[in-house]
Structure formats: structure tokens, C-alpha cells
Amino acid sequence: MIDLTTTRVFKEFVTGDLSLNEFERWIKTDANLMKQLDKVDYQSLVNFDMGIRDSNIEFELRNLVSYIWARNIAPNQEVEVTRTILTGMIDGTVGIIEGCRELSRLFWQGNGFIPIIFVGYDSELDAAIDENSDVVSWYREAVLIEANKLILLLNNRNI
């Protein structure tokens, strides 16, 4: 179980309030982190190559931290809402635009277990007029892949 300090650091890093340098320094100095995460999550985090400083690496690390956070904590109500949105997106009862907008909103409300990539999709889909827009068709497959990954994660970890 993640303590309040780790929760705060994860949230601040995922939302961009904590820099990559600060996060990396925290990982290297926090003596309790290994005790709080399972072996796979801990190894994924400490073995992540942060040596290359570019926006893609930072984006990938933020997604990894989001997934680790999802595996270890999440308020049940938000998780259920997230599952409903994801399931609807997958079965077509919730549109891609609406689903990404809601997942982005939930993310910005502090639900860091939702990968930040949905915030990016929400931003990209902002120009879409409706579900039949070209921009939606360009992103549909990628959004559904991420939706399936997150719902599997939430279901497998019994969050």
C-alpha cells in the first residue's frame, strides 16, 4: 500500500507539478518506496532509463507512474466511473470524444491512476465536430487500445 508521501509525489509528477529531476532524485533517496510497491512495479520504476532527457521519455515515465499508481491505490467511486467510461468506449455506447473528455476531467481532478495519454487524446479530439470526424477516426484505434489496457489493469488488480 502506498503511503501519503508517495501518493503526493506520484500525483505531483503525473500532473507535471514535480520535475523529472526532482522525481528521479526522490526515487533514488526514498527508503520506503521498495516496501510500498510490488517487485514488478518497483523494478519497472527504478530501471526506467531516465538518462535521456526529452519529452518522449518524460511522457513514457508519467504513463508508467500512472499505471503503477493505478495498481496500488485509487478511490473506488472514481474507479467505477472510469470502468463505466472505458467499457462504454470499448462497446460503443460512449463516444471516443466524450470518453476522452471525461477521462481527462477525472485525471485533472487528481485521479492519477488514469494515464495522462487520455488528456492528450482529449486535446487532440477537441477539434472534432462529431464521432464521424476524420480526427476521431485517426485516433480511435489508439484510444481503444489504451482503454483496453487500462480496463484490464483495473480489473486484474481488483482496484
Q: Do 152 and 88 belong together in one domain? A: yes
Residue that terminates a domain, selected from 47, 72, 97: 72
Tens of pLDDT, residue by residue over 4-16, are 788 788 888 887 8
Q: How far apart are CA 98 and CA 13, in angstroms?
A: 26
- Summarised one tens digit per residue, pLDDT across range 33-53 is 988 888 888 998 988 888 777
Q: What letters, b where the CB count within 10 A reaches 16 and e where it falls short, cover 111-147? A: bbbbbbbbbebbebbeebeeeeeeebeebeeebbebb
Separation CA 155–CA 76 (nearest Å): 12
Task: Looking at the structure, tell me whether residues 90 and 117 fall in a common domain.
Answer: yes
Domain range holding 96? 76-156
Q: Phi-psi category of 128—alpha, beta or left, where left has phi over 0 and alpha has psi -120 to 50?
A: beta
Asked if pLDDT for residue 148 goes beyond 90, the answer is yes
pLDDT, one tens digit per residue, over 49-94 is 887 777 788 888 988 898 887 766 655 678 888 988 999 999 998 8
Residue 62: closest CA among 14, 105, 7, 24: 14
- Count of the separate structural domains present in the chain: 2
**CB neighbour list of residue 122: distance below 8 Å, 6 or more residues apart:** 100, 101, 103, 104
Mean pLDDT of 25-33: 90
Q: Do 56 and 23 lie in a common domain?
A: yes
pLDDT classification of 158: cutoffs 50, 70, 90: low
Question: Could you tell me which residue, 157 or 18, shows the higher pLDDT?
Answer: 18
Assess whether 82 and 63 both reside in one domain. no
Asked which of 38, 72, 106 is the last residue of a domain, the reply is: 72
| Final residue belonging to a domain, choices 72, 90, 107 | 72
Per-residue model confidence (pLDDT) at position 60:
87
Q: List all residues 6 or more positions away from 7 whose beta carbon is below 8 Å from its beta carbon.
A: 69, 73
3-state secondary structure of 56: helix
Could you tell me which residue, 63 or 1, shows the higher pLDDT? 63
